[in-house]
Amino acid sequence: MIHFIGTGSAFNTRLGNTSAYILDHHSMVLIDCGGSVFHQLRELKLLDELAQLDIIITHTHPDHIGSLGEVVFYAHYVLKITPRIYFPDMKLLNNYFACIGVESNMYELVAETKTVIDTGFGDLELSFMPVSHVPVIPAYGFILTSKDSRIYYSGDANDIPINIVKMLNEGHLDYIYQDTCGLDYDGNVHLSFRKLCEIIPRELRDKVICIHHDSFLDIQMVKNEGFQFAV
């Protein structure tokens, strides 16, 4: 359902900032927009001839919104379109845009926790939920439902909500895209691979795709334990 521009954590620059997209014809849904993302979008020519751009933001750390302003500027001045941006905390994102000089007429902000993204390739139901990450800013995961599939995307999180695990167990989710790191220590703001193995039973692990990798995560170990590894 989704393709990745980058799969790395903030410090794993080799893999680029974690960001994903759905593209069909002239319509794109972009998930997060970290500092390296605008450059990659241009290199991959993913913005060429876009007529509609919808952007889902999980939280406001730089590796998730660092080039969001550039994307909005490019959409406004070059593509001549107004991107719709989905994020539950309207005040926080409006303040961010004001600080970097993005004018309010350049974007449309949708702050509902449950909404429908009307795309050129069909409606997508978007449902945000708070996740455990850091105490200083809000962070969200979300469920994205199309006519063909339903996924959960964690954003940055050091746990998986109980209801998401339940949905996976009961067959109500096709895939989980989960922030997963190799480092394992008390107070970790990301989900360690050890903890992921404790949460997800082996028979369901092929439905879990590890994202936002740090440089300590062993790809072969991830695959040996039955999980998928986003590339």
Got the DSSP string for 164-228?
HHHHHHTT--SEEEEE-BS---TT-SS-BHHHHHHHS-GGGGGGEEEESB-TT--HHHHHHTT-E
- Based on its alpha-carbon atoms, the radius of gyration of the chain, rounded to whole angstroms, reads 17
Residue 42, Cβ density class (10 Å: 0-12 exposed, 13-18 middle, ≥19 buried): middle
- Give me the architecture of the 3-229 domain, per CATH: 4-Layer Sandwich (3.60)
Residue 21 β-bridge partners:
3, 30
Q: Per the structure block, which two tokens stand in for 139?
A: 């962070």
Rounded to whole angstroms, how far apart are CA atoms 101 and 50?
A: 23
Cβ atoms of 20 and 231 within 8 Å: the answer is: no
Q: Per the structure block, which two tokens stand in for 131?
A: 């996740």
Give the H or E element holding residue 69: helix 68-74
Rounded to whole angstroms, how far apart are CA atoms 90 and 197?
A: 35
Residue 228 β-bridge partners:
209
Q: What is the pLDDT along the chain (231 residues), one digit of tens a residue?
A: 799 999 999 999 999 999 999 999 899 999 999 999 999 999 999 999 899 999 999 999 999 999 999 999 999 999 999 999 999 999 999 999 999 999 999 999 999 999 999 999 999 999 999 999 999 999 999 999 999 999 999 999 999 999 999 999 999 999 999 999 999 999 999 999 999 999 999 999 999 999 999 999 999 999 999 999 998
